[in-house]
């Protein structure tokens, strides 16, 4: 009788280890595995190699699991026949089937999924070793199954999935509300364009380049902007941009007869479809905080600033000189 109990125990335990290992390897997120590798956790590198190429390790576990179930069950039946006689074989088989389902499938897989990270790290090296031992058998199985599994997609993560994971983290309390909001806004950088962010032409502040400092003095003093667009005859003829500090310095130093064009700096032009993340790179490369937005025909649509791009992430940035908070909304009201 003891031999029968030992045989049943060996079958249940070996099958349970295989089932739990399989569930753990499938359940542990590859992102967490890469994070474990970065923290030099023992076994993490082996686990990463398994997660990146799951076919052979999983095939190894499935082979061992089936050996445990098929061969083990056969041994149990033989032992049961010798110990109890033929009349009890059917009952023993039924009980064994129930025990396998409960203790070798349901419970191990539940535990493997719940504690996937801890279990996966522990079993990674044994699974890798067994995979090498069973390589010839696994190779033969691969050759048979490849026509059915060819063309499968590799692991990828898209924007929608990352947003969903961030939302789940927020709901679980592992990601703060402000952190989630910042992550969401970072993705908005790819969706917003210069046309979406710009100050429209109808409310754009500009000075004519042929005016003198004396003629433009009032406009310069009253301008809330640190950078002012300089134009020719029309707003479509943008010459460049003037810094308010340099214009004021010219007024203070008595250079009132100097024309605005003498204080003009080169300005960068961008198409309205240019994305916000690309604008950020342009501002960093050119070391300028303002760009003129043009349409496909070269006409000026408005201006966009570094502040406009940063507001995608932070919300409205308003200082004590801003008399109009939202120039785009103001422009829409002007047109109406």
For residue 279, give the nearest of 204, 182, 197, 186 by alpha carbon: 197
pLDDT band, very low/low/confident/very high, at 319 (cuts 50, 70, 90): low
User: For 59-68, 179-188, 272-281, 303-312, which range has the lowest pLDDT when averaged over its residues?
Assistant: 179-188
Q: What average pLDDT does the chain have?
A: 82
> 193-206, pLDDT tens digit by residue?
899 889 888 888 88
CA 308-312-317 angle, to 5 degrees, is 55
* pLDDT at 248 exceeding the cut of 90: yes
CA distance 33 to 49: 10
Helices 116-133 and 44-52, packing angle to 10 deg: 70
Kindly state the average pLDDT of the residues 170-192.
Answer: 79
Cβ proximity of 49 and 128 under 8 Å: yes
> 72-93, pLDDT tens digit by residue?
888 877 887 877 777 777 787 7
Query: Residue 78: how many CB atoms within 10 A of its CB?
Result: 13
* pLDDT at 152 exceeding the cut of 70: no
Residue that wins the pLDDT comparison between 74 and 248: 248
Across the beta sheet with 300-305, the strand order is 199-200, 300-305, 290-294, 268-271
> 82-134, pLDDT tens digit by residue?
777 777 777 877 888 888 889 888 998 999 889 988 899 999 999 999 988 98
- Any long-range contacts for 220-224 (C-beta under 8 Å, 24+ apart)? 220/244, 220/247, 220/248, 220/251, 221/248, 224/321, 224/322, 224/323
Beta pairing, strands 206-208 & 290-294? unpaired
Burial class (CB in 10 A: 0-12, 13-18, 19+), 155: exposed
Name the percent of the chain lying above pLDDT 70. Answer: 88
- 3-state class (DSSP) for residue 197: helix
Q: What is the pTM of this model?
A: 0.50
- The confidence score (pLDDT) of residue 330 equals 47
- H helix count then E strand count, the chain: 16, 8
* DSSP letter for each residue of 255-276: -TTSBGGGGEE--EEEETT-BH
């Amino acid at each position: 009788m003891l031999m029968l109990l030992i045989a049943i125990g060996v079958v249940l335990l070996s099958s349970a280890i295989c089932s739990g290992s399989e569930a753990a390897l499938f359940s542990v997120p590859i992102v967490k595995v890469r994070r474990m590798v970065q923290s030099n956790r023992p076994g993490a590198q082996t686990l990463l190699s398994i997660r990146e190429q799951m076919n052979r390790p999983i095939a190894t576990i499935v082979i061992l699991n089936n050996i445990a179930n098929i061969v083990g069950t056969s041994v149990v039946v033989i032992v049961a026949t010798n110990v109890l006689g033929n009349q009890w074989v059917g009952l023993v088989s039924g009980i064994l089937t129930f025990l396998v389902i409960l203790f070798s499938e349901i419970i191990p897989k539940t535990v493997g999924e719940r504690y996937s990270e801890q279990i996966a790290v522990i079993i990674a090296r044994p699974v890798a070793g067994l995979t090498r031992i069973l390589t010839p058998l696994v190779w033969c199985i691969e050759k048979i199954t490849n026509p059915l599994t060819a063309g499968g997609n590799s692991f990828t993560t898209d924007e929608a999935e990352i947003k969903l994971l961030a939302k789940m983290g927020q709901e679980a309390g592992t990601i703060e509300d402000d952190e989630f909001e910042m992550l969401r806004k970072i993705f908005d950088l790819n969706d917003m364009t210069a046309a979406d962010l710009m100050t429209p032409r109808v409310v754009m502040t500009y000075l004519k380049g042929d005016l003198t400092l004396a003629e433009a003095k009032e406009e310069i003093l009253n301008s809330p902007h640190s950078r002012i667009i300089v134009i020719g005859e029309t707003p479509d003829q943008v010459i460049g941009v003037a810094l308010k500090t340099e214009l004021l310095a010219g007024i203070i130093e008595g250079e009132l007869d100097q024309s605005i064009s003498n204080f003009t700096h080169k300005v960068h032009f961008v198409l309205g479809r240019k994305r916000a993340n690309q604008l950020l790179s342009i501002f960093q490369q050119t070391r300028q905080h303002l760009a003129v937005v043009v349409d496909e025909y070269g006409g000026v649509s408005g201006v966009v600033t570094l502040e406009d791009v940063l507001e995608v992430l932070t919300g409205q940035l308003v200082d004590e000189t801003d008399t109009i908070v939202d120039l785009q909304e103001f422009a829409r009201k002007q047109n109406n």
